[in-house]
């Protein structure tokens, strides 16, 4: 069965520093999507970044980038130049939409930004 694991319930980083949030997943499929979502205290779920499994190139969105290791089933999120507004809960998500659809979110990592 597919699973998504975020092993770090909480993390802290100094403002302007770089932090990496980890996510591992388990699947027997080869063509799927991976996402990172951010949920600030306002509780709004915000899409941060998307990675298609068939793409070898790691996705990047401004200060956010991923390290996608398909063989290792690892999908970490790197936040560069951390800002106070980055403080939030971050969720990793796996989506496989085919004959046996699976949509699975991890339990989340709470990120604190230290001024």
Partner 1 sequence: DAGVIQSPRHEVTEMGQEVTLRCKPISGHDYLFWYRQTMMRGLELLIYFNNNVPIDDSGMPEDRFSAKMPNASFSTLKIQPSEPRDSAVYFCASSLSTNYEQYFGPGTRLTVT
Q: Per CB under 8 A, does 3 bind partner 1?
A: no
Q: Per CB under 8 A, does 24 bind partner 1?
A: no
Candidate residues 8, 22, 50, 70; the one interacting with partner 1 per rule CB under 8 A:
50
Q: Per CB under 8 A, does 45 bind partner 1?
A: yes
Q: In this structure, are residues 76 and 21 in contact, taking their beta carbons and an 8 Å threshold?
A: yes
DSSP states of 31-88: S-EEEEEEE-TT---EEEEEEETT--SPPEETTEEEEEETTTTEEEEEE-S--GGG-E
Report d(CA 87, CA 58) in Å as an integer.
23
**Distance in Å, CB of 94 to partner 1, minimum:** 11
Candidate residues 9, 72, 84, 101; the one interacting with partner 1 per rule CB under 8 A:
101
**Distance in Å, CB of 22 to partner 1, minimum:** 17
Candidate residues 13, 87, 91, 111; the one interacting with partner 1 per rule CB under 8 A:
91
């Amino acid at each position: 069965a597919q699973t998504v694991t975020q092993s770090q319930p909480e993390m802290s980083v100094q403002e302007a520093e770089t932090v990496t949030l980890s996510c591992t997943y388990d699947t027997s499929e080869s063509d799927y999507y991976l996402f990172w979502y951010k949920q600030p205290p306002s509780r709004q779920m915000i899409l941060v970044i998307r990675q298609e499994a068939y793409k070898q190139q790691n996705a990047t969105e401004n200060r956010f980038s991923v390290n996608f290791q398909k063989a290792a089933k690892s999908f970490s999120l790197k936040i560069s130049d951390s800002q106070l507004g980055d403080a939030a809960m971050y969720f990793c998500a796996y989506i496989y939409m085919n004959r046996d659809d699976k949509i699975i979110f991890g339990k989340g990592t709470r990120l604190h930004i230290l001024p």
